[in-house]
Amino acid sequence: MNLMIATRNAHKVGEIRALLGSQYTYWTLEQFPAAPSTVEDAPTFEGNARKKAVELARWLTGQPLPQTEGKAQPWLVLADDSGLEVDALNGAPGVLSARFAAEVGEGNASDARNNAKLLRLLAAVPAEKRVARFRCVIALVAIRPIELKPFDRLFPQPPESNLLLGGACEGKIAFAPKGEAGFGYDPLFVPDGYEESFAQLGESVKNQISHRAQALKQIRERLSGGVVCAGITRASA
């Protein structure tokens, strides 16, 4: 099965590959540079994840995708939207996590700027009130016929043919960055039950407890059980 990951973020791709395993052929936007960008303007993680997956799937249906022995291969598009919710900031940065410190019209801001803004806004907030969570929603959309097991096990609402699964990881925001690994807000986020940040814990631990790990485990369970997408050749909204 081909799994198209709707991102150019190498760190995110690495997490997804590590959690889903080597049984899939992975593709990313790096292999499809002409793919159009999706404007992530939905007010929820669910909305942005679905929009990215559906728009990319629609575009890919018109592209000459690889085949084996002249046969159309099963393809799924995987898109996620994730971010940090801080209770003391009424859930911000939320869906704007990657653009938290960006100027109007600028696009995403650097990790360093986003982290600096977060610390500045929380400067007067005591440790017990720095409660936060990482949240992730993953959307799957079929763009090729898939012959595996019962249809509704993966896509419960045909012909829309999309599946949304999510995960969350509770924790707190540290007073200063800790650790060199990870990306985004990882140096500031300390998950419940740990003293170290995501950036200190490393991939082996993060890939067991993170928001994305929880969502991907559900995806892995669904895919390993098999999928039937009889006759789906186009993605629908």
Q: Which of 41, 80, 81, 186 is catalytic?
A: 81
Where do we find the tokens 């909204």? 237
Q: Do residues 232 and 148 make contact, with C-beta atoms less than 8 angstroms apart?
A: no
Burial 54-68 (b: 16+ CB within 10 A, else e): bbbbbbbeeeebeee
Query: CA-CA distance, 66 to 46, in Å (whole number)?
Result: 29
The residue whose two tokens read 């791709």 is: 13
Tell me if residue 81 is catalytic.
yes
Specify burial of residue 110 (Cβ count, 10 A radius: 0-12, 13-18, 19+).
exposed
Whether the CB-CB separation of 221 and 167 falls below 8 Å is answered with no
Give the pairing of strands 146-147 and 71-72: unpaired
Q: End-to-end alpha-carbon separation of the chain, Å?
A: 22
Structure tokens given for 120: 């500045």
Active-site positions read 81
